[in-house]
């Protein structure tokens, strides 16, 4: 099982390879789900990769370019030249979510490997096979809500050339990928259209901030100090109102992060070929530390011939993951066995 690390830019790619990742994914300046980030050093141009990609390939490293947005007609037309240039690079593949984008990529380049993005929401073998017949896939990143037994079914039914990837570490989310419009409805920021709901991008909009942080019931300076990259309305507290009128306060979902160190042998046994770590916006040292922890754990599981159940990773690796998380004790399994998230009535906890 290979590790796929999130690279904020070309410099990060080298650092993450050095930390133990076999593969990295990176975004171009447009056409991906982080294009509207206000972080200046996020994403790269194709030109920046022209010298580096051959070097990494020669070193046996794998670079994926993520094009996981859902462009409108104008965006799709603009993307053609950049897609063509990206597909011609010596890379491990493109990560694509949108049907129109898949069609353009295949029209431009019949041989570049293409992996379905987690944003595509493809969630069963029939769906992946259908898309494979049209676009010839090299892999798929499964949605977060997939159970481990369903991963195993995918592995049984999909051709071996379609690699299965799951989210190993990152923000857990209760909603179906590519189908959540909460951000665009409330924050003028659509994930599918490249928006990210960054707190700093709302800094000048006091009315929006007042509403949003009232919803989130958090203190903005504290939130920012904790390093929140994006505002997700689903992480807020909300009041039950008209239908029941009983003043309940509801947390839509828990502040949790997926961490799958303990599950590495089980994931491998289920046929997972690549473990994705999320967080292209995070600082490079933080991501490198996570990559190193997963590298160590994967190598240990392989060396031990660990059984799917009962694997005990090095406590130092788990500590390395917790060190950088906002909610230190809130690392959880993915949805691999059950729904880890609960929409909860927190009326008593939230009471002043």
Sites for other proteins among residues 106-145 (CB under 8 A): 121-131, 134, 145
Q: Assess 312 for contact with other proteins (CB under 8 A).
A: no
Q: Are residues 94 and 64 in contact, defined by beta-carbon separation less than 8 angstroms? A: yes
Q: Is residue 341 a contact residue for other proteins (CB under 8 A)?
A: yes
Q: Does 207 bind other proteins (CB under 8 A)?
A: yes
Distance CA 6, CA 86 (A): 18
Rounded-to-integer distance, Cα 109 and Cα 65, Å: 15
262 binds other proteins (CB under 8 A): no
Q: Pick the stretch among 56-64, 72-80, 255-263, 306-314 that binds other proteins (CB under 8 A).
A: 72-80
Residue 293 makes contact with other proteins by CB under 8 A: no
One of 47, 51, 60, 73 touching other proteins (CB under 8 A): 73
Fill in the per-residue mask, 218 to 237: x = in contact with other proteins (CB under 8 A), - = not in contact.
----------------x---
DSSP 281-295: TS-HHHHHHHHHHHH
| 186 near other proteins, judged by CB under 8 A | yes
Are 117 and 66 in contact by the 8 Å Cβ rule? The answer is yes
206 binds other proteins (CB under 8 A): no
Our CB check for other proteins shows the closer of 189 and 230 to be 189
Residue 44 exposure: Cα atoms within 13 Å on the Cβ side: 25
- CA angle, corner 136, sides to 133 and 140, nearest 5? 100
Question: Strand pairing partners for 321?
Answer: none
Q: Is 178 in the site for other proteins (CB under 8 A)?
A: yes
Helix, strand, or coil (residue 95): strand
| 171 touching other proteins, by CB under 8 A | no
User: Least distance to other proteins from the beta carbon of 149, Å?
Assistant: 8
Six-digit token pair at 288?
Answer: 């490198």
The yes or no reply on residue 99 touching other proteins (CB under 8 A) is yes
Phi, psi of 80 (to 5 degrees): -55, -50
Question: Which among 7-15, 172-180, 270-278, 298-306 is the span making contact with other proteins, rule CB under 8 A?
Answer: 172-180
């Amino acid at each position: 099982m290979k590790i796929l690390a999130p690279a904020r830019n070309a410099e990060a790619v080298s650092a993450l390879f050095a930390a133990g990742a076999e593969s990295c994914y990176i975004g171009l300046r447009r056409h991906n789900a982080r294009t509207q980030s206000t972080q200046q050093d996020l994403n790269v141009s194709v030109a920046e990769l022209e010298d580096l990609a051959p070097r990494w390939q020669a070193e046996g490293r794998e670079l994926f370019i993520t094009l996981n947005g859902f462009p409108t007609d104008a965006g799709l037309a603009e993307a053609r030249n950049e897609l063509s240039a990206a597909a011609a690079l010596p890379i491990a593949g493109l990560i694509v979510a949108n049907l129109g984008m898949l069609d353009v990529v295949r029209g431009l380049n019949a041989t570049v490997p293409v992996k379905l993005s987690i944003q595509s929401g493809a969630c069963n073998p029939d769906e992946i096979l259908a898309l494979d017949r049209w676009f010839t896939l090299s892999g798929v990143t499964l949605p977060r809500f997939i159970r481990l037994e369903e991963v195993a079914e995918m592995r049984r039914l999909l051709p071996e050339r379609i690699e299965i990837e799951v989210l190993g570490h990152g923000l857990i989310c209760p909603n179906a990928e590519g189908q959540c419009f909460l951000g665009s409805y409330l924050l003028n920021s659509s994930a599918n259209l490249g928006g990210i709901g960054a707190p700093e991008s709302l800094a000048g909009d006091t009315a929006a901030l007042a509403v949003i942080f009232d919803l989130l019931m958090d203190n903005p300076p504290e939130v920012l100090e904790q390093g929140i990259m994006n505002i997700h309305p689903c992480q807020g507290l909300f009041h039950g109102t008209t239908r029941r009128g009983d003043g309940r306060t509801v947390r839509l979902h828990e502040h949790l992060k997926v961490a799958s160190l303990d599950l590495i042998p089980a994931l491998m046994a289920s046929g997972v070929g690549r473990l994705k770590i999320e967080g292209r916006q995070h600082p490079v040292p933080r991501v490198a530390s996570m990559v190193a922890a997963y590298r160590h754990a994967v190598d240990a599981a392989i060396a031990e011939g660990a059984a799917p159940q009962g694997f005990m990773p090095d406590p130092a690796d788990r500590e390395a993951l917790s060190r950088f998380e906002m909610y230190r004790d809130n690392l959880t399994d993915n949805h691999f066995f059950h729904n880890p998230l609960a929409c909860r009535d927190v009326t008593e906890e939230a009471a002043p």
